[in-house]
Amino acid sequence: MTCLPAHTDKKLGLAIDLDTCVGCQACVSACKGWNDQGYGASLSDQNPYGANPSGTFLNRVHSYQVAPDEGAVQTIAFPRSCLHCDDAPCVTVCPTGASYKRAEDGIVLVNEDACIGCGLCAWACPYGARELDAAAGVMKKCTLCVDRIYNENLPEVDRVPACVRSCPTGARHFGDFADPESNVSRLSRERGGVALMPEMGTAPTNRYLPPRRKDTLAAPALAPLGDFMATGLAGWLDRILGGR
């Protein structure tokens, strides 16, 4: 049993815009690429050229078909990674203290030196956001690129998670939800950002900006310039060019 901090100074997290995400998987590869050589053990791939390849990914994008009450069925791309919950059950369930939430910024991390790979945290997480690396035997999860966001070897503009830096549509936003004037707080407010499955009581930090209403185009038809069938081409030409 591991304790959560009573308070975190910051609540760093992501606002993910589902109205803009095209499901291109750029964030998935960017995350894999950075974290394969970044914090902790690398992200291994089992059977990479075989029948059932299976590797560790800290971020995955799924696609869903959603039928609204009225109108055509929609497709929604849905990126999924750790939500850095305030009441993170993956932390409290950890028997060794390896899983913890940072007091300074709220990032949920795994101390791999203390992780015994028991998998309890993955079982406790209602979002499926943790993956046990089969080669390293330790639990891997989104670190919000803790080795990028404070990294003084990177230009300041690049001190954001790899998924955010890479996102071609700009659908992923990184910031501090504890600051009501931060980019992510503002976006979430303006766009009605939602927490995922709040009924689980996990108090996620990340927010999803819901898709805007679709298929609303209903402009009235243009008024004809006259009755073409009655007046023919000559009449139409007179009307359209008459003012010239």
* Distance of alpha carbon 42 from alpha carbon 33, whole angstroms: 10
Burial class (CB within 10 angstroms; exposed 0-12, middle 13-18, buried 19+) of 79: buried
Sign of the alpha-carbon torsion through 229, 234, 240, 243? negative
| Contacts to another protein from residues 72-111, by CB under 8 A | 72-77, 97, 100, 102-103, 109, 111
The DSSP secondary-structure symbol of 103 reads: T
The DSSP secondary-structure symbol of 230 reads: H
Sign of the alpha-carbon torsion through 120, 123, 129, 135? positive
Q: Mask of contacts with another protein, 145-184, x by CB under 8 A?
A: -xx-xxxxxx--xx---x--xxxxxxx-------------
Which CB atom, from 200 or from 231, has the smaller least distance to another protein?
A: 231
DSSP 3-state assignment of 79?
Answer: strand
Is residue 230 at the binding interface for another protein, with CB under 8 A as the rule? Answer: no
Is residue 218 at the binding interface for another protein, with CB under 8 A as the rule? Answer: yes
| Contacts to another protein from residues 45-74, by CB under 8 A | 45, 47-55, 57, 63, 65, 67, 72-74
Which CB atom, from 111 or from 126, has the smaller least distance to another protein?
A: 111
| Contacts to another protein from residues 183-202, by CB under 8 A | none
Q: Mask of contacts with another protein, 6-35, x by CB under 8 A?
A: -----------x-xxxxxxxx-xxx-xxx-
